[in-house]
Structure 1
């Protein structure tokens, strides 16, 4: 099949290129705008308590909203606010309200905190539901500009925080991060490909192809999201760009390394490309299938965030694979050997001394290599047991220097940490209108440990539903706040509801509590299903029942080692309270799925060598010699691509970039390069059962080892 595809592409390259250009233009021109949401409640199913509370609020209190923003005032010298300062703050709030800033509906100053270190003004804004609606963000910008003028010369300082301000700062931080990542990724790919192939033509080829693929994928994802009403997380654009550049470059590398090998074997350029597609096509298709399955398995998630992210990334990989098998061969078939210009190094077979020596050593002592590489994975994996998830999305998804983060911390000098995002508790009567005694008793019951303030009850028009604003003592996304809502607050609310009544705890902290429960469920469903499906792909590729088991075991070790490395660096060495809660699933997406690529590439070459009659030790040695450079180059580029996320300036992207880049490095340089071939050599021909690794034949072992490691000459196996 792949041979026929290669012949068609090489025979009709202009037709293939034209088809791609028409597809890109048509999809981009007709696709709706891809919008993203930052509202985490959009991703939870309706049976969770936080969503039921939200539905009840919309039914009974449609106009009841938490202030969109908070203005935090304090003295510039840090001293307590005087009566004069407080009066100045009230006057400043009134002046801001009088300026009629667009989409600011009300500004109301509150009394100073008990210690008089801070005073706040609550800002109501036009309610927005569409994630692409920038009215609140624009209002925050105008408010910040006007605020600077109002406090100038008063001895006060002030800043805007709260939901709308945090959303603005997160968006700006995300856009900056995307620009940095794109620039760093493209620069890294160019530099590394120049070093590997010494050709500007080949260095630019992946960039040009992937930019076109990125445009096509963006349009297709927007079409699918619009058609199925999928909620796209705000990080999808960044992840799509990194996946496309990383995976796309990998697939092009796999093809070009084999193309160069066939040219050196004496084939003409067109025949060499057909041979390359035929030989590499099955391996990269299987690798892509494993990645697509891993991403597609996310549709089993209860979280809309992952149900939409999975198909988006699966589409990206599928289109990238198609480009790697058709568009790239078509372009290269037109260029021929000019694709390597001006370098002539492609004409000469490299000595491969390093990889030849490493392959020879592995072939002689596979047990040592398996024990050392497996030991490294196991030791790092032990640290994964200390993984602690954190839901602090506010500070971790933007710069610590952003105004919303700075003034949220200033707010803590005098106000409960939950002031910016109070929780809502609802009491719904099943026995007619609520009485004053019932609402008062229920309010008293909510004053549990971890709760700073509880407001008076606000009754619905028919007096059957009461709403309480509950300000937590801790930051809404903190571990302590989640613990309060999950335990004492929900328990107290449910227990205090009179017979026949129901109580619901809502708000963002409650959403995070339910998020945690949903993710624990997903870990038990998505991971096993994906593992089984990937094993089926491996079994079909390798025609083996044995190999998929130890390959998946090595992938699991790689996953644990990656998580352990992140825990070691961020929790133990840097002292962070935890890692971002979505990190294990993100690692699953990239480390398990993409890391499997390298295993597949290495084992496919192992099987190829075995089918040519090499014994298991020789096959492992030759596979490392020939495939090691490809895996190393691809691993460096993909790991470097993800490492660029660490330049974004926020903790969430830094943690994700570190974990994924380390995971890819482990997958390439420990798992695929040493652990997998060493274990395969130890198992021997049984690794290919019930198939066979090739017919045994007599081989001059001494000459084989001398060819693999010429510096050492003849050696015993």
Structure 2
């Protein structure tokens, strides 16, 4: 099959290229805009309590105002506010309200909005949109800060904005233009490394252009699929899509070009060399892509809409990349022929593979030692997972000098931390009739007696069947303590206090985070095992073996633990962070396990091929490592370097993400794929290929195209 695909693309190169260009421009022009949302509550299933609260509130209190941000005022000497200061607070608030900011409904304060200790005053910034992360609203917050500065001149006051919209703005600005940073770093790494490997400006630049076309096609298909199937893509999909496309795209192009160059060295004509390259390496590329696609599609089993939408989007992008690697890349390079390598002539020479030979010889001679050391290193790093502590407190990752962080600290010095995002408790009549005022007051007293925070008087909705109460928690709304309280004791107390014929529900930001945590834990126990089983099936089909997939997946699991554990050791251990990004295991799964499995597939496919060619286990290990090290190393450095750029960000959660993936990819490539897997394969011997290959003695290779070959088997050097 892969031979036919290669021959067709090489025979009709201009038609193949034209088809891709037309598809790219057609999808850009005709595909709908990709919708996105940053409201995590939109991604939770309807059976979660926080989602039910939101729906009840929309029905019973459709006109309810909720501050998108809060302006915090305090004296520059941190003393109690004087009557003159309070008058200045009212004056500044009134001036800002009259300024008329886009999507800001009103800015208001009151004499009651002063803290009990008299040091802090508040003003609410009420938005006319529900989403506090709306880009236009964030621009208004930025403008509001600028206009507030001159209004404070001549007073003893300082002011800072905090709350959802202000936090989102500061997080965005502290992260910088992450997408652009990732894109530029990726382009530089790809161009520089491909230029070093092939010593050709054409080969350095063409993959970037090819992946650009693939990006347009994939983006259009994802937007179309989202429109047709009603999917919502999280705002982070764009940045992740860039990394996935350039990561796997560069991998697959390298796989093909290394084999193509090998065929040219053997004296084949360019078109025949490319046809044979696709025929021989196509199954490896397809299997690697299949493993990644299956891993991404497993996210469809997630209970979180964020992950369910991300899975198909990333699977589509990898599928498009696979098709491009087998059609567009062969078409372009078959037209260029040997000119693709201009001006270098080094590609004609056989490299020495000095480092690869040394590693291969050591692993072949001392497989037990290599397996023990490499496996031991991964196991020690993986032990860090035992102390992994997830956190939803995005604000804790921001620099301490940001306005929203400073303002929050000031607010907490005079008010409960939950002032910015109250926890909402709704009491809903489940039987016919309306709530009695006595029932509402009795419920309020029981809720207040629980001592979880200040409880506002109950407000009955227009329909008379719903009352709501704002609970101002003592803990910061996004903190672990607040989440534990809301999901446990507070909900239990509210449920127990509900009078007969009614029900109590607890919602708000903290409840949303608590429900997301529950959903994520459920997903981890379901998605990961099913994805692992599916990848095992793909490995079994590729290797024609029922033995090798088992120890390969065990190695992958160890690599996953090592990547996550090493991040825990660094950030929780050495840096003393209270917790790590709660989505970190999913991120490591997506990039270290899914994409990193490519390197394992390359190595075991090459090992099996060497055995089929007649090599014994030791020689197969020696030759496979020698001729695969360059490709695996180059591909891993490009992908790891792309994520490593995130270490430059000021946001510690981006730093955690960058380190976990970059270090995880390097571990997968250089420790697992090049050391652990071939060493274990040597120890198991021919039994690793059962029932396909049963003997460790040399025998002729089977007729027809070779099953596959790791791309670095082209005898190329870095």
Interval of TM-score (by shorter of Structure 1 and Structure 2): over 0.9
Q: Secondary structure at the match of 2:126?
A: strand
Deviates more, 1:369-378 or 1:154-163: 154-163
Does 2:88 align with 1:88? yes
Aligned position for 1:199: 200
Q: Secondary structure at the match of 1:32?
A: coil
Aligned position for 2:8: 8
Q: Deviations over 1:668-705 (max 9, x none)?
A: 00110010011111111111111116783389xxxxxx
**Separation in structure 2 between the aligned mates of residue 607 and residue 689 of structure 1, nearest angstrom:** 11
Instruction: Decide whether the 8 Å contact of 2:617 with 2:682 is kept in 1.
Output: yes
Segments of 5+ residues of structure 2 without an aligned counterpart are 701-712, 714-718
Does 2:27 align with 1:27? yes
Deviates more, 1:556-565 or 1:88-97: 88-97
Q: Secondary structure at the match of 1:447?
A: helix
Q: Deviations over 1:464-501 (max 9, x none)?
A: 21100111111111101101101111011001111221
**Separation in structure 1 between the aligned mates of residue 334 and residue 253 of structure 2, nearest angstrom:** 14
Q: Deviations over 1:371-422 (max 9, x none)?
A: 11111111111111111000113454x6655433332233222222111111
**Separation in structure 1 between the aligned mates of residue 532 and residue 493 of structure 2, nearest angstrom:** 41
**Separation in structure 2 between the aligned mates of residue 107 and residue 67 of structure 1, nearest angstrom:** 9
**Separation in structure 2 between the aligned mates of residue 646 and residue 490 of structure 1, nearest angstrom:** 39
Aligned position for 1:270: 271
Aligned position for 2:550: 549
**Separation in structure 2 between the aligned mates of residue 673 and residue 420 of structure 1, nearest angstrom:** 52
State the TM-score, normalized to the length of structure 1. Answer: 0.94
**Separation in structure 2 between the aligned mates of residue 113 and residue 195 of structure 1, nearest angstrom:** 63
Does 2:470 align with 1:456? no
Q: Secondary structure at the match of 1:71?
A: strand
Does 2:308 align with 1:307? yes
Q: Secondary structure at the match of 1:425?
A: strand
Instruction: Decide whether the 8 Å contact of 2:102 with 2:137 is kept in 1.
Output: no
Deviation of 1:660 after TM superposition, in Å, equals 0.9
Q: Secondary structure at the match of 1:480?
A: helix
Instruction: Decide whether the 8 Å contact of 1:177 with 1:647 is kept in 2.
Output: no
**Separation in structure 1 between the aligned mates of residue 209 and residue 91 of structure 2, nearest angstrom:** 57
Instruction: Decide whether the 8 Å contact of 1:109 with 1:121 is kept in 2.
Output: yes
Deviation of 1:448 after TM superposition, in Å, equals 6.4
Aligned position for 1:515: 516
Aligned position for 2:46: 46
Q: Deviations over 1:27-69 (max 9, x none)?
A: 0001111132110001100001111111110111111232122
**Separation in structure 1 between the aligned mates of residue 598 and residue 434 of structure 2, nearest angstrom:** 63
Aligned position for 1:678: 679
Instruction: Decide whether the 8 Å contact of 2:613 with 2:699 is kept in 1.
Output: no
**Separation in structure 2 between the aligned mates of residue 193 and residue 200 of structure 1, nearest angstrom:** 9
**Separation in structure 2 between the aligned mates of residue 75 and residue 674 of structure 1, nearest angstrom:** 62
**Separation in structure 1 between the aligned mates of residue 449 and residue 307 of structure 2, nearest angstrom:** 34
Deviates more, 1:203-212 or 1:44-53: 203-212
Aligned position for 1:332: 333
- What pairs up with 1:44-193 in 2 under 5 angstroms? 44-110=44-110, 111-128=113-130, 134-172=135-173, 176-193=177-194
**Separation in structure 2 between the aligned mates of residue 693 and residue 15 of structure 1, nearest angstrom:** 45
**Separation in structure 1 between the aligned mates of residue 434 and residue 471 of structure 2, nearest angstrom:** 22
Deviates more, 1:427-436 or 1:348-357: 427-436
Deviation of 1:77 after TM superposition, in Å, equals 3.1
Aligned position for 2:345: 344
Does 2:407 align with 1:407? yes
Aligned position for 2:261: 260
Cα root mean square deviation, aligned: 1.9
Deviation of 1:449 after TM superposition, in Å, equals 6.7
**Separation in structure 2 between the aligned mates of residue 283 and residue 448 of structure 1, nearest angstrom:** 65
Q: Secondary structure at the match of 1:68?
A: strand
**Separation in structure 1 between the aligned mates of residue 295 and residue 400 of structure 2, nearest angstrom:** 34
**Separation in structure 2 between the aligned mates of residue 401 and residue 274 of structure 1, nearest angstrom:** 59
Aligned position for 1:613: 614
**Separation in structure 2 between the aligned mates of residue 478 and residue 80 of structure 1, nearest angstrom:** 28
Q: Secondary structure at the match of 1:434?
A: coil
Q: Paired residues, what number?
A: 698
Aligned position for 1:712: none
**Separation in structure 2 between the aligned mates of residue 549 and residue 179 of structure 1, nearest angstrom:** 40
Q: Deviations over 1:569-604 (max 9, x none)?
A: 110011111111111111111111111100000000
**Separation in structure 1 between the aligned mates of residue 190 and residue 636 of structure 2, nearest angstrom:** 12
Deviation of 1:155 after TM superposition, in Å, equals 2.6
Q: Measured at CA, do residues 507 and 147 of structure 1 come closer, stay the same or move farther in structure 2, by a change above 3 Å?
A: same
Aligned position for 1:211: 212
Deviation of 1:435 after TM superposition, in Å, equals 2.9
Deviation of 1:263 after TM superposition, in Å, equals 1.9
State the TM-score, normalized to the length of structure 2. Answer: 0.94
Instruction: Decide whether the 8 Å contact of 1:449 with 1:484 is kept in 2.
Output: no
Instruction: Decide whether the 8 Å contact of 1:177 with 1:649 is kept in 2.
Output: no
**Separation in structure 1 between the aligned mates of residue 132 and residue 395 of structure 2, nearest angstrom:** 20
**Separation in structure 1 between the aligned mates of residue 339 and residue 635 of structure 2, nearest angstrom:** 22
Q: Measured at CA, do residues 345 and 247 of structure 1 come closer, stay the same or move farther in structure 2, by a change above 3 Å?
A: same
**Separation in structure 2 between the aligned mates of residue 242 and residue 648 of structure 1, nearest angstrom:** 17
Instruction: Decide whether the 8 Å contact of 1:70 with 1:420 is kept in 2.
Output: yes
Q: Deviations over 1:182-210 (max 9, x none)?
A: 11111122222222222221111111111
Aligned position for 1:702: none
Q: Measured at CA, do residues 424 and 560 of structure 1 come closer, stay the same or move farther in structure 2, by a change above 3 Å?
A: same
Q: Measured at CA, do residues 249 and 608 of structure 1 come closer, stay the same or move farther in structure 2, by a change above 3 Å?
A: same
Q: Secondary structure at the match of 2:155?
A: coil
Q: Deviations over 1:487-540 (max 9, x none)?
A: 111011001111221000000111111111111111121111111111110010
Q: Deviations over 1:329-371 (max 9, x none)?
A: 1111111122222222111111111111110111111111111
Instruction: Decide whether the 8 Å contact of 1:128 with 1:136 is kept in 2.
Output: no
Does 2:234 align with 1:233? yes
**Separation in structure 1 between the aligned mates of residue 216 and residue 685 of structure 2, nearest angstrom:** 46
Q: Secondary structure at the match of 1:474?
A: coil
**Separation in structure 2 between the aligned mates of residue 282 and residue 449 of structure 1, nearest angstrom:** 63
Deviation of 1:135 after TM superposition, in Å, equals 3.9
Instruction: Decide whether the 8 Å contact of 1:71 with 1:120 is kept in 2.
Output: yes
Instruction: Decide whether the 8 Å contact of 1:417 with 1:473 is kept in 2.
Output: yes
- What pairs up with 1:470-489 in 2 under 5 angstroms? 470-489=471-490
Instruction: Decide whether the 8 Å contact of 2:176 with 2:649 is kept in 1.
Output: no
Aligned position for 1:379: 380
Aligned position for 1:505: 506
Q: Secondary structure at the match of 1:120?
A: strand
- What pairs up with 1:277-676 in 2 under 5 angstroms? 277-396=278-397, 401-430=401-430, 432-447=433-448, 451-676=452-677
Deviation of 1:153 after TM superposition, in Å, equals 2.5
**Separation in structure 1 between the aligned mates of residue 20 and residue 402 of structure 2, nearest angstrom:** 43
Instruction: Decide whether the 8 Å contact of 1:570 with 1:576 is kept in 2.
Output: yes
Instruction: Decide whether the 8 Å contact of 1:198 with 1:340 is kept in 2.
Output: yes
**Separation in structure 2 between the aligned mates of residue 500 and residue 64 of structure 1, nearest angstrom:** 26
Q: Deviations over 1:607-666 (max 9, x none)?
A: 110001101111011100011111111111111112122233322222111111111111
**Separation in structure 2 between the aligned mates of residue 338 and residue 474 of structure 1, nearest angstrom:** 66
Q: Deviations over 1:428-467 (max 9, x none)?
A: 1235333333222222322367733211101012322110
**Separation in structure 2 between the aligned mates of residue 195 and residue 693 of structure 1, nearest angstrom:** 41
**Separation in structure 2 between the aligned mates of residue 134 and residue 626 of structure 1, nearest angstrom:** 50
Deviation of 1:85 after TM superposition, in Å, equals 1.1
Aligned position for 1:711: none
